Each structure stands twice: as structure tokens, then as C-alpha cells.
Amino acid sequence: MAEGVNIFMRFDQVVLAGILLFTSACARKETPLRQYPFRGTIVRLSKDTNLASIRGEKVDGWMEAMTMEYPIENPAEFRSLRKGEKIVATVNVNSEGYWLTNVKERSGD
């Protein structure tokens, strides 16, 4: 009987260890929101997804200059964008991803 109790206790410990391992692996480590000034030129707009492909200038502290897709948080701002337009915005970055806010046409360029 003592052997049966030992096996049960070991099984209990293995299950508990598995649960702890699983929950720690699933726990999201959220990073604080970081915001950077952003400048770029609209290359393409995907109206069904509110994504803008933008040839972005270097973002100090985050990314080198490159063309990539950016989600635009505000639908009204997205609708106002035009291909070829030069913009300024705020790029927001956290553990969930990145997106643009405060998107405006860049004047004087």
C-alpha cells in the first residue's frame, strides 16, 4: 500500500509541475508602451484590413528605414490617406505589436 501511495504522490507532483510549467509558459510578459515619432511615404493601402504599406524613414531607438505594413488605429485617419502621400505619425510599440496613431499629412516637404 505504501508503494501505491508513493506512486500517487509522484503522479500528483508531476501533474502539478506540468500545470505550473504550462501556466508560466502561457503567461504574457507585457512590455510597456513605447512611442516614437514616425515619418514616411504611403506606398499601398489595404482598405479591408486598415493596413498601410509605408516606406518609413529610420525610427531612432526602434528600426532602420524600411518599407513595411502598419496598422492604422483610427479608421478616419486611415480613410484620409492617399498613395504617395508623405506623412508624420506616432508609432506605438508593445508586446502585442505595433501600430500608428496621430497620422497626418506632412506639410512643407
Amino acid identity, position 45? L
Full DSSP string of 35-103: EEEEEEEEEEEETTTTEEEEEEPPBTTTB-SEEEEEEBS-HHHHHH--TT-EEEEEEEEETTEEEEEEE
**Given pLDDT bands bounded at 50, 70 and 90, which one contains residue 49?**
very high
pLDDT for the residue 85: 97
Q: Percent of the chain, pLDDT > 90?
A: 69
Domain boundaries along the sequence of the chain: 1-30, 34-105
Distance CA 79, CA 13 (A): 56
CATH fold for domain 34-105: OB fold (Dihydrolipoamide Acetyltransferase, E2P) (2.40.50)
Average pLDDT, the chain: 85
Q: What is the tens place of the pLDDT at every residue in 6-20?
A: 555 566 665 555 565
Q: What is the tens place of the pLDDT at every residue in 77-91?
A: 999 999 999 999 999
